[in-house]
Amino acid sequence: MENVKLAVVYYSMGGTNYQMAKWAEEAAKEAGAEVKVLQVQELAPQSVIDSNPAWKAQAEATIDVPVASSADLEWADAIIFSVPTRFGNMPSQMKQFLDLQGGLWANGKTINKVVSAMTSAQNPHGGQEATLLSLYTSMMHWGAIIATPGYTDPVLFAAGGNPYGTSVTVGQDGKMIEDVEAAVKHQAKRTVSVAEKIKKGNQ
C-alpha cells in the first residue's frame, strides 16, 4: 500500500499554529506519511500586517511556504488544520479557503478524507473548543471522517486535555503556555493511522 498523503493546512499570525503544523509534519513523516505543509491565503491588508511587528516577522519568515489549493486537498488522503480562534470561530482566512472548495465537494472529492484540527487562543477558555467544532461542522458537510484525539494517550492531559484537538494558550509574550508538542505529534500520528485504515479498506 502506498503511503498516506497528508496535507497540514494552517493559518498563523504570530507563529503558534505554524509551529504546531511543523510538529505535525515531523510526527506524520515518522509515521511514514508523505506530507505537505501549506498556508492559506492571507486576506489582511499589507498595511495592517506591517503595523504589527510579530505578524510582519511571521509573514516574512514563511514567505516560501506554499499556499494551499484545491489540488492539494484532492491529493491528500488526510488533512490536519491548525488555526487560531477568532471570537470562538475559525479565522476568515481559513473560512474563505474552505468556502472555495465547493467544486471539490460537488464532485465528491472530499468524501472520506480523514481530518483533524488544532487551535490556539490567548485564554484557556478563549474559544478553542468552539473553534474546532465550527471547523468540524464544515467537515461533516464534506463527508469527511473526523479523527479527534479524544483521550487516546496520556500526553493529552499535559496539554490541557482537549478531546476535540490539541489547543494551546498563548501568553502576551507570544509564547505557548502549555507544553503541547507531544500532544500535537500524537494527534498527527493518530490521523495518519486512521487514514491508513481507510486507505487500506478502499483498495
Taken in order of first residue, the domains within the chain and their CATH numbers are: 5-201 (3.40.50.360)
Per-residue pLDDT 10s for the chain (203 aa) are 689 999 999 999 999 999 999 999 999 999 999 999 999 999 999 999 999 999 999 999 999 999 999 999 999 999 999 999 999 999 999 999 999 999 999 999 999 999 999 999 999 899 999 999 999 999 999 999 999 999 999 999 989 999 999 999 999 888 999 999 999 999 999 999 999 999 888 65
Question: How high is the pLDDT of residue 172?
Answer: 87
d(CA 197, CA 57): 40
Phi, psi of 193 (to 5 degrees): -60, -45
Q: pTM to 2 decimals? A: 0.96
What Rg value do the Cα atoms of the chain yield, rounded?
16
Question: How high is the pLDDT of residue 203?
Answer: 59
Question: How high is the pLDDT of residue 201?
Answer: 81
Indicate the SS3 state at residue 117.
strand
Phi, psi of 48 (to 5 degrees): -70, -45
Question: How high is the pLDDT of residue 72?
Answer: 98
- DSSP symbols for 74-108: HH-SEEEEEEE-BTTB--HHHHHHHHTTHHHHHTT
